[in-house]
Amino acid sequence: MASFKPYRVPTRDSGKFKLSKLDPGATPFSQGSEEKQREELDELALELDRLQNRLHAEGRRKLLLVLQGMDTSGKDGTIRWVFSRTSPLGVRVQPFKAPSELERSHDYLWRCHAVVPAAGQLMVWNRSHYEDVLVPVVEELIDKKERLRRYGHINDFERLLTDTGTTIIKCMLHISKDEQRARLQDRIDTPSKQWKFQRADLDVREKWDAYQAAYERALSATSTAHAPWHVIPSDSKTHRNLMIASLLIKTLQGMELRTPPADPALKGLVVC
């Protein structure tokens, strides 16, 4: 069984982290043929549904999955396939786009705090509060002092969530520049996918190295014992899905969820 340990970003006190040392093309969680991997993913999706149902039934704790990554890294695809067999009753997905005028009138964490998971929920964030220590850094809209201050804000925010019953899983979907090129070209060449492509995607791509550096700093500064980051090699879409599904299941199993005890008053009750 593959280990998550090599892909867990160490805490700030554990040593230097280098994103470039992790191969986006690695597939440690993929075994066998593509068909076998799809079968395994389906089994994992069913197990995830069972565990999510237990989380929902217990109704006390919460789980937050944060997905970050460069354009085309597969945030939408991860949600589509990992949760393909999961009941929507206890799962919510929240996308984060460019802040609206209302959101900009508040502090940058306001829109995030408004959509944290409620008791019994599994919440998925497609992008997140980490956009506010990536885009402004690359575009030089904030200086180093503000960047470090925001890292502190984020760590405190996530500590608040974990202290009040939320388990946090943070995944950075790590793709190579060559793989991004291929996926962007596919969007351009495939009419049914052209709606996903924006000219601005190419402008962001030109700043690839700056974004990689911003990710490296952000992950290193905000990977904590209570909310660690995992880097997910994502050049292979199947591997990406298998690894994240496995991480979710491992986390839910570790929570030792319990369904509510049976109501003694129901013993012997017969429905006519």
pLDDT at residue 116 in the model: 97
Domains and CATH numbers, the chain: 5-256 (3.40.50.300)
> What are the b/e assignments for 133-168, b being 16+ CB within 10 Å?
bbbbbbeeebeeeebeebbebbbebbeebbeeebbb
The amino acid that residue 103 corresponds to is E
pLDDT at residue 3 in the model: 95
CA dist 32 and 42 (Å) reads 15
Distances (CA, A) of 3 to 15, 68, 240, 241, 253: 20, 21, 14, 15, 16
pLDDT at residue 14 in the model: 59
Residue 272 near residue 107 (C-beta atoms within 8 A) = no
Per-residue pLDDT tens over the stretch 117-154: 999 999 999 999 999 999 999 999 999 999 999 999 99
pLDDT at residue 15 in the model: 62
Percent of the chain with pLDDT over 90: 89
Order of all β-strands in the sheet with 122-126: 91-95, 122-126, 62-69, 166-174, 229-233
Residue 74 near residue 182 (C-beta atoms within 8 A) = no
Per-residue pLDDT tens over the stretch 177-220: 999 999 999 999 999 999 999 999 999 999 999 999 999 999 99
50 contact partners, CB below 8 Å, separation of at least 6? none
